[in-house]
Structure 1
Amino acid sequence: MAEALKPVAGLLLVLNFCMYVIVAAIGGWAIDVAIDHGFIIGSGLLLPANFSPIFFPIGNAATGFFVIFAVIASVVGAAAALAGVNHFRAWNSESLPAAASSAVIAWTLTLLAMGLACKEIHLHGRNARLRTMEAFTIILSVTQLIYIIAIHGAVSIVRSRP
């Protein structure tokens, strides 16, 4: 059964890596828009009354927090996928701790970004790219969990053999 879970883990590994890269790319675009269209403060100008350092001219009040945490989660998730490739090649209990710990950290950061995505959905007023980023973050929170279960399940089966 351990070998039956290996293709599932491999598929989820590739899927998660691609989705994390897409989330990072869209998040990078959103940060670029925020930098290009943010507040311009000169030496003689005062900060606006409602100034926020995480101001995004696109989306709503939750967009800045969501984008920042989604980019962090996607970078950690892509790195976790690279650690997962090493585990996938070895597929033994010695390579599991690095892959599992990085996958769990990526999953918890993805859950944080998913919570902010839900808040952004609740507040309305976002464009198609942000909706795509929200959808991918929500999907990643599930697929990353399934990946973690698959790699843990396969190694526990290997350990239980005589």
Structure 2
Amino acid sequence: MTFEEFVTTRGASLVRLARLLSGDRHRAEDLVQDVLARAYVRWRRISATGRPEAYVRQMLVNANRSWWRLGRNRELPYAAPTRAEVVGGEDSMVVERDHLWQMVLTLPYRQRAVLVLRYYEDLDDSAIAEILDCSLPTVRTHAMRALAKLRDLRARELANEFGGTR
């Protein structure tokens, strides 16, 4: 497969993966562009591995992690706008999905990466372990902790919403 064919067939999915990892559409596009520029220079070696997609995914995960480590994150957080939605309204499913992804973005980096690769990219644990360069038990531990954290966050929200305490 040539580099051009790879970008044509997998480019959009790489941007979606980067968006889920980074939480920002513009940063995702920049990450993918940087990764593809580096991959282009080494494409013969990457395609010779027989698994160019896994290799480029790993480059993307590492590039996103490096972005945070290098202190390029100079953005100032702002309070998310609150908008009461009618339960069962047309937008309620979109709002719920967006809210879930906002909770996912609060997770530590590796936990978030495991969930995105497992549930969005539909990869098995061995592929995730290869991409994140860790062991299978580590992948499972990150997934277990991430899901427990999301359940806990949701339970606290529901308790606050309905006046209970937790």
TM superposition score category, shorter chain reference? 0.3 to 0.5
**Larger Rg belongs to:** 1
| Bigger fraction of residues in helix | 1
TM-score, with structure 1 as normaliser: 0.34
Per the normalisation by structure 2, the TM-score is 0.34
Greater relative contact order (Cα < 8 A, sep 6+): 1
